[in-house]
Amino acid sequence: MRELGFVPVCAAVLVWMAGVPGMAQTDAGSWSKSYPVSGKASVTLSTGDAGIEVRSCGSCRSVSVRVDWRGRKPGDFQINEFQGGDHVNFQMKEKPHMNFGIQMGSFHSPQVTVETPAELDLEARTADGALKVSGVQGTLELHTSDGAVDVGDVGGAVRLTASDGTIRMHNVTGTLESRSSDGHTTIDGKFTSLTVHTSDGNLDLTVGEGSQLTTASSIESSDGKVLLRLPRAMAVDLDVRTSDGQIDCKLPLTMEGYNTAHSSGHNLRGHLNGGGVPLNIHTSDGNVTIVGQ
């Protein structure tokens, strides 16, 4: 009789535990957990072969993480997660396999979706997966080795390092440092400081109306064209150089120097609207076009 009476008691305990706020919920299709925060959230995310999406939940007071397995076996992955105060750390990586086989049918990597308060400090890193961040503000450190990057409606101090993948950054406010190796890059926003470098891929950069650079800024491309749109009222000192490409500036400049000799590359120096902080634009193999908006 005691053994028979023990079963419903255990079941009741398990049901109660599943309802505890913040406790991980796991099923065949997903894993999820919520972490309450009382102050400014700090989040560190790291995945191997999985995409990450971080988005704002507005004035909420928690960080919620969800993993959608998308047909993969949960047992193939290891999740390490913990919370210390207002800091949440989540890491997921695929377990090593000793056997080799052929994957039949369509293959999908897991997707990690994170909802956070609008203001936070974030470090997000993927080894081989897309990275998407939207609607948050703070210190944002973003890294991806092989995956597309989509960042929109963010502000603060944004730093991106990407190796291989298309980059789209829309409506960024504040300071931006972006370094990418291989992929087309499109950026627009209202900036106070810019450092943008791409090794192999065209760069389309729009500095929005109301921007005013307060520190020396630079734009570099090793192998690709640069199209730069600047506010017509922006005051900067321009220094444009290209080793093997043409320079076309459609804004009125107070010229300091212009050289088109093939032996020394092409360079242009001048002041926009009386001048201001330096804005250096250098390419090794690609045209530079500067237009107003």
Cα within 13 Å of Cα(278), Cβ side:
11
The overall pTM is greater than 0.85: yes
The pLDDT confidence band at residue 3, using thresholds 50, 70 and 90, is very low
Sign of the torsion angle spanned by Cα atoms 131, 159, 91, 133 = negative
Model confidence pLDDT, tens digit, residues 216-247: 999 999 888 999 999 999 999 999 999 888 99
Give the mean model confidence (pLDDT) for residues 184-194.
97
Q: Which residues contact 141 (CB under 8 A, 6 or more apart)?
A: 122, 123, 124, 159
Give the mean model confidence (pLDDT) for residues 10-17.
40
**Burial annotation 215-246 (CB, 10 A radius, 16+ → b, else e):** eebbbbbbebbbbbebbeebebbbbbbbeebe
Q: What is the DSSP letter of 129?
A: S
Nearest to 36 by CA among 64, 56, 8: 64
Residue-level pLDDT at 107: 56
**What are the structure tokens assigned to 228, written together?**
């730069």
Q: Highest-confidence range of 3-12, 229-238, 259-268, by mean pLDDT?
A: 229-238
Position 155: which residue type? Answer: G
Residue 179, pLDDT above cutoff 50:
yes
Residue-level pLDDT at 24: 83
Q: Highest-confidence range of 35-49, 95-109, 263-277, by mean pLDDT?
A: 35-49
- Residue with token string 């065949």: 28
Percent of the chain topping pLDDT 70: 87
What's the CA gap between 253 and 287, in Å, rounded? 19
For residues 161 and 142, is the Cβ–Cβ distance under 8 A? yes
**Burial annotation 139-175 (CB, 10 A radius, 16+ → b, else e):** ebbbbbbbbbbbbbbbbbbbbbbbbbbbbbbeebbbb
How far, rounded to the nearest angstrom, does the alpha carbon of residue 187 sit from its chain's CA centroid?
12
Distances (CA, A) of 234 to 183, 190, 192, 227, 268: 29, 12, 11, 17, 17
For residues 129 and 110, is the Cβ–Cβ distance under 8 A? no
Residue 104, pLDDT above cutoff 50:
no
**What are the structure tokens assigned to 81, written together?**
């997660």
Count of Cβ atoms closer than 10 Å to residue 83 Cβ? 15
Residue 48, pLDDT above cutoff 70:
yes
